[in-house]
Amino acid sequence: MSNNKKNKFITKKIVGEAVAESFRKLNPKYMIKNPVMFVVEIGFFISLVLTFFPSIFGDTGNNLRTYNLIVALILFITVLFANFAEAVAEGRGKAQAESLKKTRKDTMAKLLDNKENVKVISASELKKGDIVLVETGELIPNDGEVIQGLASVDESAITGESAPVMKEAGGDFASVTGGTKVVSDWLKVRITATPGESFLDKMIALVEGASRQKTPNEIALNTVLVSLTLIFLIVLVALYPMAMYSGVKILISTLIALLVCLIPTTIGGLLSAIGIAGMDRVTRFNVIAMSGKAVEACGDVNTMILDKTGTITYGNRLAAEFIPVSDAKIEELIDYSVISSFKDDTPEGKSIVELGNKLGTKVEAAKYENLDFIEFTAQTRMSGVDLKDGRKVRKGAQDSIKKFVVEAGGEIPKDLDESLTKVSKLGGTPLVVCVDNKIYGVIYLKDTVKPGLVERFARLREMGIKTVMCTGDNPLTAETIAREAGVDEFIAEAKPEDKIEAIKKEQSEGKIVAMTGDGTNDAPALAQADVGLAMNSGTTAAKEAANMVDLDSDPTKILEVVEIGKQLLITRGALTTFSIANDVAKYFAIIPAIFTVEIPEMQILNVMRLSTPSSAILSALIFNAIIIPALIPIAMRGVKYKPMKSEMLLLRNMMVFGVGGMIVPFVGIKVIDLIITPLLRILNLS
């Protein structure tokens, strides 16, 4: 899956299939789902009929058949381009679905009965609640929960990540996905999904777009577009008799051209593609959205509820500072701390060595390779190393080290407790370091905030999103981490029900809330939140409660997902603005062309100085067609999003897509007019 991120924007295969699909979508039964483009298709059929029977509405004139045919062809191409935009968006999703389908195989399953007897059956015959045995090298036949065993599972078929993950019964890592592979040991799995309804099946359906439903915003915008189309249709129906009364003869094909140019065909042709591409961008980010509504809701998020451990912090307490006590020198404390940690493979031990190296320790690891390392145990609560000269270097909990020193005949430094209190007040964990009967100082271990989060939270603040950190730590520790990370608020000593209350409180104020989680205890809060992002490594309950699943199990990814959601809304709004602004230029092209012959004073509106009425109408119609494929890359990739206040964002998009939407058609229509005018003279249509 992650490899998809590196794929080309549009491949030759996608283009080829999209072209074929564009013609299949011409079926009126399908086109009626897009009312704006359906009107264009009806206009094409009427123009086509007028090509063969030009006088059916009383129209007369030289080369009228040729003119009607050109209008019909341009309208036909307009509909094809709109279908092509949607087909390209669908094609990218189908390409991903095909790669997923390759991982779905009709595997065999070892079904266990009540007496632990094994019966080999097809995975398609498994039922919810069945218990299966999966051993080394075998594929997990369907989604389930581990009820016994401990094994490494290769989830690269789903996540794209090559490193296997540990799965075991109980806890938050008991959920397994059908199609993944056990690479060591064995597991007993209780099946939690019926065939055809597994997580992989749902992914395929969602990625293909088979289960895509229009979002509320998309439906609302579609209603606006239909309303505008009806308004222009009524205006043009009234315009025809008014023109006849004024002595102005308007060809039916010209009237159709005017209607097509004035209704919002650009956004009408791209609307569906924008929605599909929004889900596609999230999927390529290795997040599966259960609906387009979930992606759209991300763009409206006002408040983000975040766990501390694993999301804001690494979850492992890492060395942050060396604090010497009594007459000990800091260089001695650093050296002995590093010596005691060379063979300590815990995150804490590795961080002590790393910090010591940063501070310039001269200790060389090679000199201490053959020494006896004393591992940490729950009984001793300390670790260290015995040097060749008989000295014993130890680091550990304050009580254990104090006892060790006193038993060796040493004394406790008077300023030790002061240093211990200092570390505790900062919300950290103190490790005391001693050599034989002398205490050299304290190592300050802290739950380290992930790099870059301060800037990312600042970016969210610029978007107007409030961040709330939830943690089970005491208020002092929570305040320290919250201040360091730059979150807006924090909830200390939080229980699962406290998260739900926090979400409900924000929602009662009319805010859209997002949160992440992976455990069964997070499921109620994930269900309550407007955007719930569950980790793929989490429990089945969490994934079923959420409306988005992160295949990489990176809790911080919700920050980027929110930006993708905002990008979707901005793209839709920007292209709608561009589409409506387009109509202004097309108005100045066609209206003068229709009335100038009979009403010369209307020439003042021909600000583009278009050559002839025919070239003006056809130029506007051609521009109206080609602007749809020209905007496909923007619809697919999305408008570039920069964090800023909504007022500034609106102003920026109005300037770029509003003003730009008026300028581009003026230039484009004039260029097309210059190109086609000689051709129209040859066809005697000028």
Q: Contact 563/578 with Cβ under 8 angstroms?
A: no
Q: Contact 669/607 with Cβ under 8 angstroms?
A: no
Q: Contact 70/617 with Cβ under 8 angstroms?
A: no
Strands 438-449 and 466-470 turn out to be unpaired
Question: SS in 3 state form for 475-507?
Answer: HHHHHHHHHHHCCCEEECCCCHHHHHHHHHHHH
The two tokens of residue 504 are: 């409900």
Q: What is the pLDDT of residue 1?
A: 41
Ramachandran quadrant class, 592 (left: phi over 0; alpha: psi -120 to 50; beta: rest): alpha
Strands 131-135 and 108-112 turn out to be antiparallel
Sheet holding 372-374, edge to edge: 313-324, 438-449, 429-435, 392-396, 382-386, 372-374
Span 376-395, pLDDT tens digits: 887 888 999 999 888 999 99
CB atoms within 10 A of CB 164: 17
Q: Which of 599, 33, 543, 569 is nearest to 281 (CA)?
A: 569
The two tokens of residue 289 are: 């959205």
Say what the pTM is: 0.67
Q: What is the pLDDT of residue 6?
A: 41
Strands 548-550 and 287-289 turn out to be antiparallel
Span 221-261, pLDDT tens digits: 888 889 989 998 898 888 888 878 777 778 888 889 889 98
Tell the burial category of 468 from Cβ atoms under 10 Å away from its Cβ (0-12, 13-18, 19+). buried
Q: Contact 174/146 with Cβ under 8 angstroms?
A: yes
Residues of the chain with pLDDT under 70: 1-10, 58-62, 92-106, 156-163, 170-173, 196-215, 292, 310, 315-316, 537, 597-598, 686
Give CA angle at 438 (435, 444), nearest 5°.
75
- The one catalytic residue among 154, 201, 280, 307: 307
Question: SS in 3 state form for 547-584?
Answer: CEEECCCCHHHHHHHHHHHHHHHHHHHHHHHHHHHHHH
Tell me which H or E stretch contains 455: helix 453-462
Q: Torsions phi, psi of 359, nearest 5?
A: -85, 5
Query: 25 in helix, strand or coil?
Result: coil
The two tokens of residue 580 are: 């409506």
Binding-site annotation: residue ranges for ATP? 344, 348, 376-383, 395
Tell the burial category of 364 from Cβ atoms under 10 Å away from its Cβ (0-12, 13-18, 19+). exposed
Residue type, 441: G
What are the residues whose beta carbons fall under 8 Å from the beta carbon of 471, sequence distance 6 or more?
307, 308, 309, 477, 478, 481, 490, 491, 492, 493, 494
> In this structure, is the dihedral angle defined by the CA atoms of residues 536, 542, 543 and 547, taken in order, positive or negative?
negative
Q: Torsions phi, psi of 683, nearest 5?
A: -85, 0
Structural domains of the chain, with CATH: 12-95+207-283+572-683 (no CATH), 127-194 (2.70.150.10), 300-312+450-551 (3.40.50.1000), 317-448 (3.40.1110.10)
The two tokens of residue 177 are: 């996905």
- For the chain, state the CA radius of gyration: 34
Task: Please compute, for residue 180, the number of CA atoms within 13 A of its CA located in the half-sphere on the CB side.
Answer: 33
Q: Is 436 one of the catalytic residues? A: no
Q: Torsions phi, psi of 176, nearest 5?
A: -125, 150
Q: Which of 286, 282, 304 is nearest to 295 (CA)?
A: 282
Number of residues assigned to the chain: 686
Q: Which of 259, 271, 270, 154 is nearest to 219 (CA)?
A: 271
656 DSSP assignment: I
Tell me which H or E stretch contains 142: none
Rounded CA separation 177/145 (Å):
9
Rounded CA separation 43/68 (Å):
11
Q: Contact 167/176 with Cβ under 8 angstroms?
A: yes
Q: What is the pLDDT of residue 7?
A: 47
Question: SS in 3 state form for 623-647?
Answer: HHHHHHHHCHHHHHHCCCCCCCCHH
Tell me which H or E stretch contains 509: none
Q: Contact 385/374 with Cβ under 8 angstroms?
A: yes
Q: What is the pLDDT of residue 336?
A: 94
Binding-site annotation: residue ranges? 344, 348, 376-383, 395, 518, 522
Rounded CA separation 54/253 (Å):
10
Tell me which H or E stretch contains 429: strand 429-435
Query: 657 in helix, strand or coil?
Result: helix
Rounded CA separation 630/270 (Å):
11
